[in-house]
Amino acid sequence: MTPRRVRTDDAPRTDNPYSQAVRAGDALYVSGYGPVDPDTGEEVEGDIREQTDRVLDNIAACVEAAGGDGLDDVVKVTVYVTDLDEYGRVNEAYGERFSGTLPARVCVEVSRLPGDVRVEMDAVAYPE
């Protein structure tokens, strides 16, 4: 099995030394994404719910670029927040985006995220 880099213009791009996502066999490992608009490279405006939606859009774009069905193929998510007091609002937005078999998930509070965003997530998916 040779890992294959997945690229898309529909998720933020980076100059840093990592891939947007990597396909390894049947699994897809999606890098951590904050609420960054891929067209502007800027953090989206709005509350934590709107920012959570943008994060999930970025993850879905990577899954789709690998031939999958977006969030329907996600099996594991790690959520990073800088303030656990916002967990409920993140959870509400997150819950509206998933259906069927919900992914396994971890949520941790961290002191800081790249770009000083308030929420970031990475994911593991199994696209068709």
**CATH number of the domain to which 28 belongs:** 3.30.1330.40
Q: Is 62 a known active-site residue?
A: no
Catalytic residue, from 107, 113, 122, 126: name it: 107
Is 0.85 surpassed by the pTM of this model?
yes
- Residue 122 identity: D
The pLDDT value recorded for residue 115 is: 87
Per the structure, the count of domains in the chain is: 1
Beta strands, E only, 1-128: 4-6, 21-24, 27-33, 74-81, 104-109, 119-125
Tens of pLDDT along the chain (128 residues)? 899 999 999 999 888 899 999 999 999 999 999 999 999 999 998 899 999 999 999 999 999 999 999 999 999 999 999 999 999 999 999 999 998 899 999 999 999 999 899 999 999 999 97
The pLDDT value recorded for residue 71 is: 97
What domain range is 64 assigned to? 4-125
